[in-house]
Amino acid sequence: MTTTADKIKVMQAFEDGVEIQSMSRRSLVWCDTPLPSWDWSDNNYRIKPPDPKSLEHINELLRRQSAAEDEIKKIGKELALLRYIGERL
């Protein structure tokens, strides 16, 4: 974390009940941190990323994929209509 805004986001997430991880500046390992000390001079903090195998995460990815596919279909229809109009001009 480098900006105050980033730090605020992490601390607000903690206040909202989101799990936080920390990494000492001497370490390269993120650790779950149930009670962060918020010592930004010696640690980095982040919102714990979702487990890529969790059902919630998989469902979110599927929802995004479905939304993207719907958008692609919509764009395809609009493109076909524009081509049709262009051929008639």
Query: pLDDT (tens digit, 0 to 9) for every residue of the chain, 89 residues total?
Result: 579 999 999 999 999 999 999 999 888 899 999 999 999 999 999 999 987 777 887 888 889 999 999 999 999 999 999 998 888 88
Give the C-alpha separation, 31 to 51, whole Å: 14
Domain count, the chain: 2
Contact 47/11 with Cβ under 8 angstroms?
no
Please indicate, yes or no, whether residues 87 and 67 belong to a single structural domain of this protein: yes
Please indicate, yes or no, whether residues 89 and 58 belong to a single structural domain of this protein: yes
Please indicate, yes or no, whether residues 11 and 43 belong to a single structural domain of this protein: yes
- Residues in CB range of 20: below 8 A, 6 or more apart: 10, 13, 14, 32, 33, 36, 45, 46, 47, 48
CA distances from 41 to 5, 6, 8, 13, 88 (A): 16, 14, 15, 20, 67
Contact 48/21 with Cβ under 8 angstroms?
yes
Contact 22/3 with Cβ under 8 angstroms?
no
Model pLDDT, residue 55: 81
Give the C-alpha separation, 11 to 78, whole Å: 44
Model pLDDT, residue 1: 54
Q: Give the structural domain span for 38.
A: 4-47
The pTM (predicted TM-score) of the whole model is 0.58
Please indicate, yes or no, whether residues 16 and 42 belong to a single structural domain of this protein: yes
